Copies of this chain bind each other. A is one copy, B any other.
Amino acid sequence: MRIKDVREDRTKRSTVEIQQAIRFNLFHMLQASARAEDTGVPAKGLTGKAYEGHYFWDTEIYLLPFLTYTSPRIARNLLIFRYNMLPQARARAKQLGHRGAMFPWRTINGEEASAYYAAGTAQYHINADIMYALRKYVQATGDESFLRDCGAEMLVETARLWLDLGFYSETKGGKFCINGVTGPDEYSAVVNNNAYTNLMARENLRYAAQTVKSLQSAEPGAYNALAHKTALEPSEVERWIRAAENMYVPHDEDRQIVLQDESFLDREPWEFKNTPPEHYPLLLFYHPLNVYRKRVIKQADVVLAMFLLGDMFSPEAKKRNFYFYDPLTTGDSSLSSCVEAIIAAQVGDFEKAIRYGMAALLMDLADVGGNVKDGCHIASMGGTWMTLTYGFGGMQDHGGTLSFWPRRAPEENAILRFPVTYRGQRLEVEIGLDKVEYALCEGESLLIRHETEELHLTRKNPVAVRPVSRR
């Protein structure tokens, strides 16, 4: 991944620094994950002791995209690591009184290691996060055998958990509701119908149903083995589909936005103007009860859903939601800046995209959070890669086709170049000042999309150049 000046006299130093920072980030991600074979990737990688080396959703949501598109073998290792903790996840679900499997919010050996449920084990979304990463990995690699041999079993057990956790609520017109969970935003704890959780759970349920159904028709032997192993009843799949189709997603009619959770607007506004800068992060200065009852956000939540499930939101909806939630978001978590940067870039707000992107990029080098002594922020490092590819690069990977709607480099007068591995082939994307070049460097044939146009790159015609519309 490279960023390079075009007019050398003006911004060279800055661009060199950015290139260095990118490499610093890439290095630590590779170092943390290269030999993650029977382990996960700790929140601090191999750089510090904070979080006691524990694994969180950081791996699947923030790091795996980078690995999936650059080192899929390692992405697979990390998913196998999750698969191997399925027995503990089943035991944990049982302990919580649920069917299926509940992956740990934080763990070292597969067992839940959170000391605190409110901003910990109540984050049921971890299940859907892992299944989301599984789907992206399978889509990007075509590794159907992994899906059959490991993924399907995880999908069955996580879908079961969602079905058991939620219920059809009379007070919500019979919609499928999920109460008493914490979403990504840890400044709102144990809420009803967190939109992120419900949307991601819907994906989880759908992907589980789809996977089981294709297995049933395409590989009856594998299906029978799966059904035997998980004691799957045929009616279960239909119940997953019904729950997914009836999933409740809280929404505000007046503002035309998705609500972070159904009570989000019922909270008292946080008094940002009376909060001195030295009182951030709020979690160190205010009692959690005080924070939980206020309308204030630690980290991207609806905004994260708009990134991960980008094809479900129109550009206008993204704008409305982003400009509603962004001013309420403290960014007190290092997991926030990169996501804000991506959506800012997607809605064309490059001032914000650059500011947030720089915060993510320099999280450790500039000690943005003031805690780099405890170790590097691997999630933010992965988020930096995502900011450049998904954000400025305009990459999208919804629905099984890699597509691009490139914006610009994060520096004026710079070009941005990055490789993407897709189904065993290697694509190089170079976004210049006014054109973008797609080059198939390894592989026979790759169909991608540039803006609204399909591009078919082949060994004979490996390169396509298009103007950047800078929407």
Residue numbers in B under 8 Å from A293 (CB-CB) = 179-180, 192
Partner of A97, one of B98, B172, B286: B286
A180 contacts B292, C-beta separation under 8 Å: yes
Find residues 90-120 in chain A having any chain B CB closer than 8 Å to their own CB: 95-98, 117-118
A179: which of B118, B172, B262, B267 is its contact (CB, 8 Å)? B267
Contact B190 A292 (CB under 8 A): yes
Task: Determine if A97 and B287 form an interchain contact, defined as CB atoms under 8 angstroms apart.
Answer: yes
Q: Which of A97, A267, A293 has the most CB of B within 10 A?
A: A293
- Residues 349 to 370 of chain A near chain B (Cβ within 8 Å): none
Question: A266–B169 contact, CB under 8 A?
Answer: yes
**Given the complex of chains A and B, what is the CA–CA distance between A97 and B169 in angstroms?**
36
Q: What per-residue 1/0 map shows which CB atoms of A158-189 lie under 8 Å from chain B?
A: 00000000010111100001011000000001
Nearest-Cβ distance from residue A257 to partner chain B, whole angstroms = 14
Flag whether A265 is at the interface (Cβ < 8 A). yes
Q: Is A288 an interface residue (CB 8 A)?
A: yes
Q: Is the CB of B171 within 8 A of A289?
A: no
A180 proximity list for chain B (CB < 8 A)? 289, 292-293
Q: In the complex, which residue of chain B has the Cβ closest to the Cβ of A179? A: B293
Q: Are A268 and B96 in contact (CB under 8 A)?
A: no
Known interface pairs A96-B290, A292-B180; A167-B268 also in contact (CB < 8 Å): yes
A346, CB-defined interface residue at 8 Å:
no
**Could you tell me if B117 and A289 are in contact, using CB atoms closer than 8 angstroms?**
yes
A445 close to chain B: CB less than 8 A:
no
CB-CB under 8 A from A121, the residues of chain B are 289
Contact of A266 with B95 at beta-carbon distance under 8 Å, contacts A122-B289, A180-B292, A180-B293 already known: no
Of all chain B residues, which has the CB nearest A180? Answer: B293
Residue A469 is within 8 A (CB to CB) of chain B in the complex: no
Residues on the B chain within 8 Å of A262, using CB: 266
Contact A169 B268 (CB under 8 A): yes
- Listed A/B pairs (28) with beta-carbon separation below 8 Å: A96-B287, A96-B290, A97-B286, A97-B287, A98-B290, A117-B288, A118-B118, A122-B289, A167-B268, A169-B266, A169-B268, A170-B265, A171-B265, A171-B266, A177-B268, A179-B266, A179-B268, A179-B293, A180-B289, A180-B292, A180-B293, A189-B190, A190-B190, A190-B289, A190-B292, A192-B266, A262-B266, A263-B263
Excluding A167-B268, A177-B268, A263-B263, 16 further A-B contacts by CB distance (< 8 Å) are A96-B287, A97-B286, A97-B287, A97-B290, A98-B290, A117-B288, A117-B289, A169-B266, A170-B265, A172-B266, A177-B266, A179-B266, A180-B293, A189-B190, A190-B190, A190-B289
